[in-house]
Chain A
Amino acid sequence: MRPLTPRRITGICALLFAVLFVVMVISLRTGAYPISVRDIVMTLFREVIGRTDEVPAEFKLVVFGLRLPRIALGILVGAALSVAGAGFQALLRNPLADPYVLGVSSGAALGAILSLAFSPHLLGVIQLSAFMGAAATIAIVYFLGRRGGQLDSGTLLLAGIITASFLSAIIMFLLTTLSGHELRGMAFWLMGDLTTAPPTEHVLWWFESLFTIFLIAAGAIYTTASDLNLILTGEQEARHLGVNVHRVKLVVYVAASVLTGLAVSVSGAIGYVGLLVPHLMRMMFGTDYRLLIPTSAIGGAIIIVAADTLARTVVAPTELPVGAMTALAGAPVFIYLMRRRVR
């Protein structure tokens, strides 16, 4: 018997943070304007000691204006989608649940588009409406996925896929008819990418608020980690063991919708991260949610930053949307998991 300890969680997370750091450095230095690791270190050092005037301007623009914000965005989106995916998998008791596959991302995208079309200049409104879109979609999919009062795995997935394609159609319709607004392209909303430029002013404030929302929502899911372990073993049994199943489900439902809305509002509907990452982490570190949630968050950050680095280098000088990269890896994994379950 070797029960999970906080120490083991810290150790594994530290390891993953190290990997994330390496991936970040690689991502910082690769691109059309190559930068050596030494230059990155020197630049950061000069920034820290306040001698910014010694840093060349173009260098500053590439590192601080382009690559670093994009990496930060990747970390946020990857972590949010992976924790949301792990949450949905427990909430719906379905290993194939993922914000993208279930149409939740499309719902969030629709919410975001509507807010952009009608109140584009209000801060936070886009995140709020993306959250509402996500929450409404998962509620609809949940009720469509029931058969005879029971949540049916196959029906749920079908309901999600159909909802996703229906919402995508509405998104396409809106984007075509609402031209003139600053709505971004179809590829952004339906595939997702990390090219969103943070606001030129208040960059730090913008990132701080997004990461704060992420930490609150992911933290809320983490408080239910012990309960989720029991719910995954059996909902009835969890109830007998004293788990307040309704409360736990409500927390996970709201928090996972917030996370999906948050990610989609800044990066569009990047697919399969929420499926891929939690399963990868389960294979490496086991199924315990107390470990799975933090490792999924960091793992998701690693995967998205790495995928985005690939997306902007494989066909340079053009870029692929990062969603195309994750779908290339995620769709086969989805099929593998589905076939393994059927067998």
Chain B
Amino acid sequence: MSAGTGGRASVASASVPFDAAPKPRLKVEQVSYAYAASDRSAPKFTLGPVTFEAQQREIVAILGPNASGKSTLMKILAGMLRPLSGRVEVDGTEVGDFEPRTRARRIALVQQESELLFPLRVWEYVLQGRYPYGRRLRFESAEDCLLAGNALAQVGADALRDRWMDHLSGGEKQCTILARALAQQPSLLLLDEPTQHLDIGGKVELLRRLRKLADDSRYTVIVVTHELNLAAEFSDRVVLLHKGKGLRTGSPAEVYQREVLEEVFEAPLEVEIRRSGRPRVILKSSQ
């Protein structure tokens, strides 16, 4: 596997000058945000400024310890929160200016699933991704069904089609949620801690799938994750957040430096660069 990723890494780095010339898919410019209990009190938490860009076919991992502002940044990228200052642009348009349904055709967000009130079949769930296309009160067309079926096939979940959502395993559910996001036919795919409830096999499987989606279908993928090594393995770019500040942005090898990571995660760590050029983080033993 390391040979394969190494090959892709070199392709990616070689093509950077060409990809950088056209407009980036996602442009995050000096974005900041502040939470306050009320309008007048001092902010409890501030984010930013954060700046980074993402091209098509790129996977960007947003890393950082708990309460570093990852989820807030994600909400801003998804257009759910308006930044206090700065801009988030998708294909040249500011995210906050999108009409909600237009936004849903450009940006799909995969979150931890909420509790379902009433049972739902997998295909019904995936078809919901077609909501932004068409009128408010709508009936799904044959095309919608085709696209939903394709989305399920893309995540390798064809067989789940007629299963009930609440009978799925964690990994299967994650696949289904991803399929619904793909049914939205977005250009930007945001994933908020998608690996949280998966075992190691499931995590690798999911990230491999995202890599393939980015490479083959030109998605731009932004992932919030706690998995330093998986992020190093699969992402093109890393944004490291620390206490609400955008601390470092760059390739995994540029960002993964021992002192930086130790300070951010407050743990004794070692970083080694593998032959593929991608770093690996190891917990330093106490002896």
Residues in chain A within 8 A of chain B (CB atoms)? 1, 3-6, 89, 93-95, 222-227, 229-230, 232-237, 239-244, 282, 287-288, 290
Contacts and interface: CB of A to CB of B under 8 A. Distances in A.
Nearest to B102: A242
Among A4, A5, A236, the one with the most B-chain Cβ atoms within 10 Å of its Cβ is: A236
Nearest to B127: A3
A244 B128 contact: no
A234 B113 contact: yes
Interface of B: 78, 80, 100-105, 107-109, 111, 113-114, 116-120, 123-125, 127-129, 131-132, 136-140, 144-145, 148-149, 161, 184
A123 to B, nearest CB: 33
Contact of A233 (B104, B120, B136, B161): B120
A215 to B, nearest CB: 16
A227 B101 CA distance: 12
B117 A243 contact: no
A242 B132 contact: yes
A244 B116 CA distance: 20
B118 A4 contact: no
Given A230-B128, A240-B78, A95 B109 contact: no
Nearest to B145: A1
A242 B128 contact: no
Contacts of A89: 117
A3 B104 contact: no
Contacts of B128: 229-230, 233, 241
Contact of B103 (A224, A225, A229, A242): A242
Q: What are the 6 tightest A-B residue pairs by CB atom distance, in nearest-first order? A: A234-B114, A242-B101, A242-B104, A3-B140, A287-B118, A242-B100
A6 B184 contact: no
Contact of B144 (A3, A225, A232): A3
A286 B282 CA distance: 51
A108 B65 CA distance: 51
26 contacts: A1-B127, A1-B148, A1-B149, A6-B139, A94-B117, A225-B137, A226-B136, A230-B128, A230-B131, A233-B120, A234-B113, A234-B114, A234-B116, A236-B80, A236-B111, A236-B114, A237-B113, A240-B80, A240-B104, A241-B128, A241-B129, A242-B101, A242-B102, A242-B103, A242-B132, A287-B119
A240 B117 contact: no
B111 A237 contact: yes
Contacts of A288: 124
A287 B119 CA distance: 8
B134 to A, nearest CB: 9
Contact of B132 (A3, A6, A241): A241
Given A223-B136, A241-B129, A242-B103, A1 B114 contact: no
B235 to A, nearest CB: 23
B143 to A, nearest CB: 11
A221 B62 CA distance: 41
A1 B131 contact: no
B80 A239 contact: yes
B184 A241 contact: yes
Contacts of A235: 114
Contacts of A227: 136
Contacts of B137: 222-226, 290
B145 A95 contact: no
A4 B125 CA distance: 13
Contacts of B113: 234, 237
A243 B136 CA distance: 9
Contact of B161 (A1, A93, A223, A287): A1
A241 B127 contact: no
A5 B101 CA distance: 23
Contacts of B125: 233
Given A226-B131, A237-B114, A287 B120 contact: yes
A199 to B, nearest CB: 36
Nearest to B107: A240
Given A241-B132, A242-B103, A244-B100, A232 B118 contact: yes
Contacts of A1: 123, 127, 145, 148-149, 161
A1 B119 CA distance: 16
B118 A282 contact: yes
Contacts of A225: 137
A223 B149 CA distance: 27
A110 B161 CA distance: 50
A229 B140 CA distance: 13
Contacts of A4: 139-140
Contacts of B104: 240-242
Contacts of B149: 1
Nearest to B113: A234
A81 B188 CA distance: 43
A233 B116 contact: yes
Contacts of A229: 128
Nearest to B118: A287
Nearest to B184: A241
A240 B136 contact: no
B139 A3 contact: yes
Nearest to A292: B118
B104 to A, nearest CB: 4
Contacts of A3: 127, 139-140, 144-145
A93 B117 contact: yes
A276 to B, nearest CB: 16
A4 B121 CA distance: 13
Contacts of A93: 117
B80 A226 contact: no
